[in-house]
Amino acid sequence: MARKTTRDIQKIYASGRAISMVTCYDFTFARLVEMAEIDTILIGDSLGNVIQGHDTTLPVEVDDIIYHTRAVARGNSSALIIADMPFMSYQASDEVGLMNAGRLMKEGGAQAVKVEGGERVAPMVKRMVDAGIPVVGHLGLTPQSVHAFGGFHVQAREEDAAEQLLQDALALQAAGAFMVVLEMVPADLAQRVTESLSIPTIGIGAGAKTSGQVLVIYDLLGLNTSFKPRFLKHFAELESVCVNALKAYKDEVEANSYPADEHSF
Ligand SMILES: Nc1nc(=O)c2c([nH]1)NC[C@@H]1CN(c3ccc(C(=O)N[C@@H](CCC(=O)O)C(=O)O)cc3)CN21
Ligand SMILES: CC(C)C(=O)C(=O)O
Ligand SMILES: [Mg+2]
């Protein structure tokens, strides 16, 4: 199967079928994502949390995203691959943003990049799109601004902020973004934004009326039971599956019952 393109995503959106997205960071999980026929992969800067163990996404470097994007691209040949632009890879100037987006495409092998922000980043988004780089926007709880928000809370609950978010989404669309992630916003606002746009929205904590959904792969697989935001559903409980397997291995090693003859040469 050929790799999905931004046009394929547009076609899925036009057909009315919801778009599936997961984050993914390595070859082994990228293979599983291909077997599950997920439409699109985000190499999220959430790797700062789930791969690197930081409290926020702020320490993540462009080189980290490139390294993980390369590994994912080798394991999955069917999903559209989107690389997240990390904190300070595009905030200081549009030129720096363009160069870093180019690196994610050239060195990482991404087909698209994602940036946090609305009207403020729209001129840069336009320049990226003009340069042939497909761009995804990200509004609502934009985790690179966690210290400005003062925590990971639902955004745009007040009418003024909701109106601003809608304007931000329209600005991203006008700049040429092909998709917009809506994170931790009230479901009725996400629906209003989705109905106001002609490009798909992808929700996380944004209700059921977006054009698709995204979750962090380890979260949805139940690999990290200490993270329990309201929006998260565990589609498996792999933390206990993995710990039980590791305990069984340890027990057999200590009992000298593994390896058995069948595992020996
Ligand atoms: N593993 C992981 N999964 C994610 O979804 C994720 C990351 N890491 N890192 C980057 C951001 C940070 N995200 C977060 C972090 C915390 C909450 C959270 O604590 N939510 C609570 C509080 C809601 C409130 O106070 O308004 C919730 O119940 O949803 C939500 C999203 C989403 N992203
Ligand atoms: C949760 C998604 C949208 C993200 O930006 C990430 O994983 O970094
Ligand atoms: Mg991110």
Q: Is the CB of 204 under 6 A from ligand 2?
A: yes
In whole angstroms, what is the distance from residue 132 CA to residue 113 CA?
Answer: 11
Distances from the Cα of 37 to the Cα of 4, 21, 72, 111, angstroms: 11, 10, 14, 17
Quote the mean pLDDT of the chain: 98
Q: Report residue 131: phi and psi, to 5°.
A: -85, 5
What is the C-alpha separation between 260 and 252, in angstroms, rounded? 10
State how far Cα 265 lies from the chain centre: 44
Q: How confident is the model at residue 172 (pLDDT cuts 50, 70, 90)?
A: very high
Distance from the first to the final alpha carbon of the chain: 39
**1, pLDDT greater than 90:** no
- CA nearest to 161, candidates 180, 139, 191: 139
Q: How far is the CA of 60 from the centre of ligand 3 (A)?
A: 10
Going by C-alpha positions, the residue among 65, 75, 163, 159 that lies closest to residue 115 is 65
**Which ligand has the nearest atom to the CA of 143?**
1
> Which residue numbers belong to the known binding site for Mg(2+)?
45, 84, 116
- For ligand 3, the distance from its centroid to the CA atom of residue 43, given in whole angstroms, is 8
Q: Is 219 in the pocket of ligand 2 (CB under 6 A)?
A: no
**Ligand 2 pocket residue status of 45, Cβ below 6 Å:** yes
DSSP code for 258? S
d(C-alpha 121, C-alpha 23), whole Å: 23
Q: Ligand 3 centroid vs 198 CA: distance in angstroms?
A: 23
Q: Which residues are annotated as a binding site?
A: 45-46, 84, 114, 116
* Number of the ligand closest to the Cα of 51: 1
Share of the chain above pLDDT 90, in %: 100
| Cα 204 from Cα 189, distance rounded (Å) | 13
pLDDT tens, residue by residue, 12-33:
999 999 999 999 999 999 999 9
94 confidence band (pLDDT: 50, 70, 90): very high
pLDDT for 161 equals 98
Among residues 183, 195, 237, 262, which one is catalytic? 183
Report which residue type is found at 184: M
Q: Is 183 known to be catalytic?
A: yes
Which atom belonging to ligand 1 lies closest to the Cα atom of 219?
Answer: 1
Indicate which residue's Cα is closest to atom 4 of ligand 2. Answer: 44
**Interior CA angle at 3 toward 141 and 86, to 5°?**
30
Q: Which residues surround ligand 3, an ion (CB under 5 A)?
A: 44-45, 84
Q: Which pTM value belongs to this model?
A: 0.98
